[in-house]
Amino acid sequence: MNSNIQNILLFVQIGVCVLVVISVLLQNRAEGLGKMFGGGGEVFRTKRGLEKFLYYFTITLVILLVLISLLIYKYSV
């Protein structure tokens, strides 16, 4: 029983990892190296629509990934 739960959690973790990578890659790439050093010219810009959804979706996936990792640790000890 313990091994089955651990295997299921590992597969779920792999799926969530893939979704995190896709979510990060889909986000806006307007923040380049120049903006990191103070360039870019934009003072303030809010996230809207799909960009806002992807932002919160990525945060949710990362929290889910941490929780799954902690569960895997719990069942492995």
Question: 70: pLDDT confidence band, cut at 50, 70 and 90?
Answer: very high
Cβ atoms within 10 Å of 61's Cβ, excluding its own? 19
Tokens at residue 44, please? Answer: 């303030």
Distances (CA, A) of 18 to 4, 14, 63, 64: 22, 6, 14, 13
Cα–Cα distance for residue pair 75/70, rounded to 1 Å: 9
Domain of residue 7 covers: 2-76
Cα–Cα distance for residue pair 48/24, rounded to 1 Å: 16
pLDDT of 56: 94
For residue 58, pLDDT over 60 is answered with yes
pTM: 0.75
The count of structural domains within the chain is 1
